[in-house]
Amino acid sequence: MAGQGSSTAAMEEDKLRIEMLGAGQEVGRSCCFISFKGFNIVCDAGVHPAYTGLSALPFLDQVDWSTVDALLITHFHLDHAAALTYIMEKTNFRDGKGKVYMTHPTKAIYRFLMSDFVRISNAGSDRMLFDESEMLASWRQIEAVDYHQEVVVSGGLRFTPYHAGHVLGACMFLIDIAGLRVLYTGDYSREEDRHLVQAEVPPVRPDVLICESTYGTQSLEPRLEKEMRFTALIHSIIKRGGRVLLPVFVLGRAQELLLLLDEYWSAHPELHTVPIYYASSLARKCMSIYQTYIHTMNQHIRTRFNRRDNPFVFKHVSNLRSLDKFEDKGPCVMMASPGFMQSGISRELLERWAPDKRNGVIVSGYSVEGTMARDILSDPDEIIAMNGQRIPRRLSVDYISFSAHVDYTQNSHFIDEVRAKHVVLVHGELKNMSGLRAALQSRYHGRAEEVHLYMPRNCDPLFIPFRPDRTAKVIGALAEKPAAEGKAINGLLVAKDFSYTVLAPEDLAEFTGLGTSVIVQRQRVALNVGWEVVRWHLEGMYGTVQEGVDVQGVKTLRVMNVVDIKQPRTHELVLEWVSSVSNDMVADSAVALLLGIDSCPATVKMTMHDHACAHASPKPDERREQHFAFVESLSALLEAHFGQVEMIEVGGMTDAESEARPLLSNTPANTDAGARASPAPPATGEQHTPDAPTEAPAEAPAEAPLAHDAWATDGSAAPASPPRSPTASPPHSPAPAVSPLEALCNRIYGPLRAAIKVELDGEPVVIELEHLRLVSMMRTTSQSLSDSFHLIPPSSTMLFQGEHSEVELDEKIRTIDSDSS
């Protein structure tokens, strides 16, 4: 079950979540929540122009604002930015680590617009969302960014702003979330006008496109045509003695219309007596901002400015801060805010001029449903004043869209160029959005690459399963030569925060600040085969093996061009290689092969050949010196363990003479020692009488004949010197007194040779030097010491130390052969 839970969590993380907190199947209070791989981003935070108070805000309760990593504002319009202060000051956004980002022009204009918004808000003091101090406190926390600046928010989350047209400072954000790229357009325009550039197509293909659908399938007339129709309509209203009301927002389309009117007035001297008013308390401040950010505008404006011709210093336009000083006499053109005519100067002038049929109002931008700008387009007979009074409407109403939103033609072409697999439609009324979706589905039907279209409602989360492709960026020296298609690139792959970069090893320090290290591994192997056998096995396993010497002249075999096998000395091999995953595998296989060479049947077969077993004998002098050195070492060892050591000679008698010698004398001392002499056998071979004074066992020991056979087989039965004559004794006379050592020596036959005598528990022990074996210990024996004695407790390192009272003779050794007795 735990495995299933982790798998489910992983699947949830691989789903992109998009939830519209506003502008879902509506226009206004734009607010888009995006979540993927644990990262949370919010794009835009506006209010709805048709509502007031809390009802104008997005659905903020749907999100835990303390978990938001970044809040991105595309432009300064109220329906995209006016709720920002409320979120930053009145929610738990302040408890998190999230930051707010917008472009430099947007931040500069935002401050003045929000001050004006607080001042003219008609919600009443009891329903105000925030005050001036809260707005300024939040404004200071906003971080301004430049176009095309990649901003890294945290590991795995980054974004880049691109030009969006629409208004000064407007941008679209390309957001990279753990390798997933989302392009959020906000409001954008693909038509270059008199002062703004058109919206850019990002150079990187996004996976998801979130774009506006304001005009649905409508196609707007070309700019030059609508400019001519606009100026002609104004000219006709002035000729009939009327006043022209142009409701606009203080910034945005207002500057475009002012440029157009100033140019038209300059070309028509007959209009010089007709004043053009720009009625806004922020007009002068905002115009200074436009002059500051001329470098963000199009080439036409920059060229005029470089010629010291400031296009925003108008010759025929006057600023009007309030209506108190306005002399309402004769024809004029009044450009007043706000554009939706819900309140402010534009609403006051509409109510004043509505009863006069000579006057006219021209709606030049998109009107949100529920606003006065949208209601008046239906040509009502009367309008409702702000105080509730009904006012007859007789002025003319015209609509010429200078809205900087894309129409169907621009929007569909932009979607084609972006080539996103998933397109999410926002910022549009349900009718327009549905029409656009149907048109796009028909447009993309039958294409090889399927395009998924979505139009989510507010608070209805959209989940898109997604596993982003891992794309690596090639930089540094590797990027100097474009790689051919299908050709591999050899370099280092650097992964950081879900982004991947390929670069040459020498560029690693410059671009990443990292360093490289080369690990050389060495393995020594002991091997008792020849160099040719090693090479034969390696060639059998790996095919071609390169052979040569290293810089020190050591013989070397190179396996698969990665592992060097060297022979620094006989019967020793050294494997050397640069550590890597593949090289380590080759080295492991080579070590396994080398360790099995000794036991390999092929090795045995290869090394078998006929040869002569002739060995050079050492010289007599060298042999003598070696013998003396060995005897000295052996004597020192025996003396250290058993005490006094004596060099003696043994042997030099035949078997018959050895049998005739007495073992031990029949003395009390010898009797006390537990050994008695046996009478010498008669020369005639007669048996002992029953009353013979002896305690010898009935059976004779079998060791003497075995020892005789051993010496006879040796080829050394011939005595090296004449045997000593045994002393004959009368058959029934007692044997002469013989010491234990002499008794032992009498039992050693064969050629005369050197031996060493030591004592063990008071008894003599003789070790002959020719074959280094114990030849006599109380009794001559050809058996090994371990077979002749039982040690209780079992044999240990204390065998030859101290008295051995628990050493018992084997029953076969303790009995004496009666025949030899």
List active site positions. 405
Q: At which residue do the structure tokens 């389309």 appear?
A: 253
The torsion of the CA quartet 196, 198, 201, 206, rounded to 10 degrees, works out to 80
Quickly count: other Cβ atoms within 10 Å of residue 509's Cβ. 11
Nearest CA among 140, 174, 208 for reference residue 43: 174
Residues linked to residue 335 through DSSP beta bridges, in sequence order:
246, 278
List CB contacts of 152: < 8 A, sequence separation 6 or more. 158, 497
Alpha-carbon gap, residue 32 to 25, rounded angstroms: 12
Nearest CA among 190, 147, 145, 146 for reference residue 165: 190
Q: At which residue do the structure tokens 């617009």 appear?
A: 113
Instruction: Measure Cα distances from 327 to 240, 270, 322, 332, 450 in Å.
Output: 19, 21, 11, 10, 62
Alpha-carbon gap, residue 420 to 438, rounded angstroms: 17
3-state helix, strand, coil in the chain (%, to 5): 35, 20, 45
CA 418 from centroid of its chain's CA atoms: 31
Q: What tokens does 275 get?
A: 């004043």
Q: What are phi and psi of 168, to 5 degrees?
A: -60, 130
Q: At which residue do the structure tokens 């509506």 appear?
A: 26
Alpha-carbon gap, residue 757 to 779, rounded angstroms: 14
Find the DSSP H helices in 96-163. Answer: 104-120, 132-139
Alpha-carbon gap, residue 442 to 346, rounded angstroms: 42
Q: What tokens does 443 get?
A: 């447009």
Angle at Cα 278 formed by Cα 277 and Cα 284, nearest 5°?
A: 130
Q: What tokens does 215 get?
A: 């005009």
Nearest CA among 655, 771, 772, 773 for reference residue 709: 655
Q: In the 8-state DSSP scheme, what is residue 681? A: P
Instruction: Measure Cα distances from 720 to 484, 673, 717, 751 in Å.
Output: 96, 34, 9, 5
Dihedral sign computed on CA atoms, order 670, 676, 682, 685: negative
Helix (H) or strand (E) holding 631: helix 620-642
Rg, C-alpha atoms of the chain: 57
Q: What tokens does 795 get?
A: 């044999």
Alpha-carbon gap, residue 169 to 76, rounded angstroms: 8
Dihedral sign computed on CA atoms, order 789, 794, 795, 801: negative
Q: At which residue do the structure tokens 């979130």 appear?
A: 210
Nearest CA among 140, 119, 141 for reference residue 130: 119
Q: Are 58 and 19 in contact (CB under 8 A)?
A: no
Q: What tokens does 693 get?
A: 């004074």
Could you give the maximum distance between any two Cα atoms of the chain, in Å?
182
